[in-house]
Structures are given as C-alpha cells and as structure tokens.
C-alpha cells in the first residue's frame, strides 16, 4: 500500500470525524495539542502522521487506529461525543458510468479505493456499499 493511499484514507476518516463531531480545526488542535500545520497537512492528505499522532487522534475521537486509517468502518456510536445519538455507520460509495461494470469493481474493492462515504444506520450492516451511477446510463 502506498503512502498516498494511506494519506487519502486518513484524510477521508478526518472528514467523517470532524463532520460527526462538528468541531473546528482550531478546536481539534487545542484539544489534541497537535500543531495546526500538522493537522492541515493531514486534512489535505499531504502527509502520513507518526504513530503517536494517530494514537492521539484516535483516542480523542474514541475510535481505533484501524478505523482512523480506513481499515475498519467508523460508526457514530463510538465516534460521537454524545452516546444518545442513534448508531450509524459509514459505507463506501462506488461511482461508475457503466452499471454493468459494477461486478468487476466489487471484485477489486478494498478500503484503499474508497474515496466517498455515505452515512447509514448501523442496522444496514458493515459489509454493504452504495453505488452512484453517473452519466446518461440510468
């Protein structure tokens, strides 16, 4: 796995977590004591953080490092600051112009090629995905 795919997965996870917590970059820096330039590079997928940085961020958001780097799905029940919210899950969105080629895409699917996520109820199941068809096909 290349460094750029790891950086992209971390960037995607950050976007999900910041949206879920509704926290600003400045507040996240203050809470985690991570410098703003470091956080900015992570949010823009421009660097791969140290393990200690990953641990700090994962601890702050109450998730595992595996979830932060995109190897496991992020659920609202463990990433939210409030446990009263309904449990939800983020599933990958596959985008294609040719729906007939979806089966080929699924055979090659991995967390490294998920660039967009959709929030769904956790009852949907973590092995699910969504499909967005673009163009004139549908």
What average pLDDT does this structure show over 76-103? 65
**pLDDT: is 123 or 1 the higher one?**
123
pLDDT of residue 91: 77
β-bridge pairing 88-96 and 130-133: parallel
Greater pLDDT, 32 or 79: 32
Q: According to the model, what pLDDT value does residue 95 have?
A: 79
Fold exhibited by the domain 3-72: 434 Repressor (Amino-terminal Domain) (1.10.260)
pLDDT digits 0-9 by tens, 97-126: 777 777 777 766 665 556 677 777 766 776
72 contacts 61 by C-beta, under 8 angstroms: no
**Residue-level pLDDT at 82:** 42
The answer to whether 20 and 80 are in contact (CB under 8 A) is yes
Least confident window among 12-16, 79-83, 117-121: 79-83
Give the containing element (helix H, strand E) for 96.
strand 88-96
pLDDT tier, 67 (very low <50, low <70, confident <90, very high otherwise): confident
Domain boundaries defined on the chain: 3-72
Contacts for 31 with CB less than 8 Å, ≥ 6 apart: 23, 60
In this prediction, residue 137 has a pLDDT band, given cuts at 50, 70 and 90, of low
Q: What is the pLDDT of residues 21-51, one digit of tens each?
A: 888 888 989 999 999 998 888 888 787 788 8
């Amino acid at each position: 796995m290349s460094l750029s795919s790891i950086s992209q997965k971390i960037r995607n996870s950050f976007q999900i977590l910041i949206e879920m917590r509704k926290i600003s970059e400045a507040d996240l820096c203050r809470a985690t004591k991570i410098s703003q330039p470091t956080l900015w590079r992570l949010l823009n997928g421009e660097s791969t953080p140290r393990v200690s940085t990953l641990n700090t961020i994962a601890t702050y958001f109450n998730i595992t490092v595996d979830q932060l780097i995109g190897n496991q799905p992020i659920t609202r029940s463990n990433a939210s600051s409030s446990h009263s919210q309904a449990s939800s899950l983020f599933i990958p969105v596959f985008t294609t112009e040719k729906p007939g080629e979806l089966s080929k895409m699924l055979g090659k699917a991995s967390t490294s090629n998920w660039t967009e996520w959709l929030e769904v109820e956790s009852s949907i199941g973590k092995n699910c995905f969504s499909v967005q068809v673009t163009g004139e096909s549908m």
